Amino acid sequence: DSGVTQTPKHLITATGQRVTLRCSPRSGDLSVYWYQQSLDQGLQFLIQYYNGEERAKGNILERFSAQQFPDLHSELNLSSLELGDSALYFCASSPRLGQEQYFGPGTRLTVT
């Protein structure tokens, strides 16, 4: 158990819908990262927050957005969902920038 929690574990929804994925980092970790894992793209970095502020952006679509709240939990919002958005979404947290990241169990999103 990494100490990073993610909810829900599974999510099935229809095209065009909007979902919210939630992540709670390890106690004391200020950095939260979001990654997408799919068969064709592999593991791709989406976005990073540090102590409530957006710090880095990767291959994140404009339909996707995220935020980190004062209690340091983070949410990833995915809207206007398409079939190709079906993937595993991981959250990770880190005690310091440039150090190891600890991953949550992931949310498996299926868009039908």
In the complex, the residues that contact other proteins under the rule CB under 8 A are: 2, 33, 35, 42-43, 45, 48, 55-56, 58, 90, 92, 97-106
The nearest distance, CB 22 to other proteins, in angstroms, is: 15
The nearest distance, CB 81 to other proteins, in angstroms, is: 22
The nearest distance, CB 16 to other proteins, in angstroms, is: 28
Q: What is the DSSP letter of 85?
A: G
Evaluate whether 109 touches 17 at the Cβ level (below 8 Å).
no
Give 7 or 99: the residue with its C-beta nearer to other proteins: 99
Give 20 or 37: the residue with its C-beta nearer to other proteins: 37
For residue 32, give the nearest of 72, 1, 87 by alpha carbon.
72
DSSP labels for 4-61? Answer: -EEE-SEEEE-TT--EEEEEEPPTT--EEEEEEEETTTEEEEEEEEETTEEEEE-S--
Give 8 or 16: the residue with its C-beta nearer to other proteins: 8
Give 2 or 51: the residue with its C-beta nearer to other proteins: 2
